[in-house]
Amino acid sequence: GILEVRIGEKKYPLNLKIAVPVTVLTGFAAGMVGVSGGSFLVPLMVLACGVPVHIAVGTASILVAATAFMGFAGHALRGDFDPHLAIPLAVITIIGGTLGGKFALKSKPHHLKRLFAYTNFLAAGFMLFNALRTGGII
């Protein structure tokens, strides 16, 4: 079914037949490859579900937190956690996230979409290069 979502004075339709499988599959894929899923969630919520980009970013943040916590719990239980590395990086990430959130609120949606596309493209390039290098292809 279609759920009409209202945020302040803005409203948009959310197709649950698309949104539910998209988020389940994104969570599954994120768990498989060990990422938070935000790079998958935001474009899928915007493109497949019709969620406005500012809402998608804010919503993905809480979903990413849940996915990240579950990933952390699994690794911590196995002993794969170094607090000497994680705590300073967490502080730096909180500072960056706070500044980025303030920047996003002042940005136009098309600028956020473009920035998201560029960062995903750059990350994909690094991952491809690393995979080819470690596979002995280059």
Q: How far apart are CA 74 and CA 30, in angstroms?
A: 14
- Dihedral of CA atoms 46, 51, 54, 55 in degrees, nearest 10, equals -130
17-26: average pLDDT = 86
Confidence of residue 122 (pLDDT cuts 50, 70, 90): very high
Question: What would the two tokens of residue 25 be?
Answer: 């599959």
Helix ranges (H only) for 5-108 are 16-33, 38-47, 53-78, 83-106
Residues 109 and 53 sit within 8 Å (Cβ to Cβ): yes
Closest listed residue to residue 23, CA positions, set 11, 13, 15, 34? 15
Q: Answer yes or no: is pLDDT of 99 > 80.
A: yes
38-53: average pLDDT = 84
Closest listed residue to residue 17, CA positions, set 38, 32, 3? 3
Backbone angles phi, psi at 53, to 5 degrees: -60, -40
Confidence of residue 34 (pLDDT cuts 50, 70, 90): low
Residues 61 and 93 sit within 8 Å (Cβ to Cβ): no
pTM of full prediction above 0.85 = no
